[in-house]
Amino acid sequence: MPDLPNVVLWSVPAFVLLTVVELASYRFHPDEDAAGYTGKDTVTSLSMGAGSLFTDAMWKIPIVAVYSALYALTPLRVPLHWWTLLLALLAQDFCYYWSHRGHHVIRVLWACHVVHHSSRNFNLSTALRQPWTSLTSWPFYLPMVALGVHPAVLAFCTSVNLVYQFWIHTERVDKLPRAPEFVLNTPSHHRVHHASQGGYLDRNFGGILIVWDRLFGSFTAETERPVYGLTKNIATYNPLRVATHEYAAIARDLAAARTWRDRLRHLCLGPGWQPADAQAGAGSGGGIGGGGGVGGGGGVGEGGGVGGGAPNQLLQQTVAKGVESRTLPR
């Protein structure tokens, strides 16, 4: 097994230091337009992060078992050199882009990822607001293991991607020079991703690199101040409700669905999807949010699903009709 460092563990002091610096910047150089920090929201984010440490360790057991079994079956082997490690980082970031995009366009995946988008603030503590059901990303990385990347190398690359994304959860860093803004995911690009207004909705899915969004039509530059959170925010700081609210909404929709086809669509289509009869009722004033939509950082605004870059016409139609394409009202 490759002997690679635990980059997350080594990065914890930097996480703490950067958070203290960000807090101090709001104290001594306040910005009235910035969301900043609020006590209850920050406690919720930290609670979600602490809980995810336990749940991730639990989910890791079956995931590692699947990856290890596949690695044992494939005849391919990628040797560990500095340049193959860089290629593995590039491949992992590519897979992360599609995983992230898929978690916005497929509602049952969004139910996991919505946790990270549920804060109406945007600061370094938001990076720690992680789901407790993160058992949904592993299929997107199977091609790497099948091509001979050792599961430990994949885990290392995933950790590097995670650590990189910590610092981009801030309003205290303005746009960078043109070259890094073109290539890398930056605070400016990630602010757009966490925004809930129409022009920013479901954009900029990259992890380390933003070039994937430029290539696959999901990039939007920051041109106006983002409004953070969901299009229909949840009125709770309870970590358990934050972790499960979209699953509860899905369960209600499944119970109310009239056909098995509609139940399958509730699970597999975008968070804004509703049956035609519900949309018709919403158009006459009887629907949820004026349009019958569901969901939260939601259906990929420009992403036609996990495998392609064509626009998601369903979500565009949903947003155009004024549907709340995030979570059901509480």
Region 273-299: mean pLDDT is 50
**Distance of CA 7 to CAs 56, 164, 184, 304, Å?**
16, 10, 20, 34
Q: Note whether residue 101 is domain-resident.
A: yes
Cα 100 from Cα 242, distance rounded (Å): 19
Residue 298 has a CB neighbour count (10 Å cut-off) of 33
Evaluate if residue 297 carries a pLDDT over 60: no
Burial of 117 (0-12, 13-18, 19+ CB in 10 A): buried
Q: Note whether residue 34 is domain-resident.
A: yes
Q: Note whether residue 1 is domain-resident.
A: no
| 3-class DSSP assignment, residue 56 | helix
Q: Note whether residue 115 is domain-resident.
A: yes
Give the residue from 204, 206, 186 showing the smallest Cα distance to 194.
204
Evaluate if residue 201 carries a pLDDT over 60: yes
Question: In the prediction, which pLDDT does 99 show?
Answer: 98
Give residue-wise pLDDT tens across range 92-113: 999 999 999 999 999 999 999 9
pLDDT bin (cut points 50, 70, 90) of residue 326 is: very low
Q: Note whether residue 306 is domain-resident.
A: no
pLDDT bin (cut points 50, 70, 90) of residue 30 is: confident
Q: Give the range of the structural domain holding residue 29, as residue numbers without chain letter.
A: 7-215
Question: In the prediction, which pLDDT does 304 show?
Answer: 35
Answer yes or no: are the C-beta atoms of 262 and 283 closer than 8 Å. Answer: no
Distance of CA 324 to the CA centre of its chain: 18
Residue 302 has a CB neighbour count (10 Å cut-off) of 22
Q: Note whether residue 125 is domain-resident.
A: yes
Which are the contacts of 134, defined by CB distance < 8 A and separation ≥ 6? 52, 55, 56, 59, 112
Q: Note whether residue 237 is domain-resident.
A: no
Q: Note whether residue 206 is domain-resident.
A: yes
pLDDT bin (cut points 50, 70, 90) of residue 126 is: very high
Number of domains into which the chain is organized: 1
What share of the chain in percent tops pLDDT 90? 76
Evaluate if residue 267 carries a pLDDT over 80: yes
Q: Dmax over Cα atoms in the chain, in whole Å?
A: 62
Evaluate if residue 152 carries a pLDDT over 60: yes
pLDDT bin (cut points 50, 70, 90) of residue 27 is: confident
Which are the contacts of 277, defined by CB distance < 8 A and separation ≥ 6? 258
Using the 8-state DSSP alphabet, how is residue 206 labeled?
A: -
Which residues in the chain belong to E strands, given as ranges?
none
Give the residue from 90, 178, 158, 172 showing the smallest Cα distance to 126.
172
Evaluate if residue 276 carries a pLDDT over 70: yes
Mean pLDDT of the chain: 86
Which are the contacts of 1, defined by CB distance < 8 A and separation ≥ 6? 150, 152
Evaluate if residue 273 carries a pLDDT over 50: yes
Question: In the prediction, which pLDDT does 280 show?
Answer: 60
Question: In the prediction, which pLDDT does 3 show?
Answer: 85
Which of 95-104, 138-147, 309-318 is least confident?
A: 309-318
Which are the contacts of 2, defined by CB distance < 8 A and separation ≥ 6? 80, 150, 152, 153, 156
Give residue-wise pLDDT tens across range 239-265: 999 999 999 999 999 999 999 999 999
Region 63-74: mean pLDDT is 98
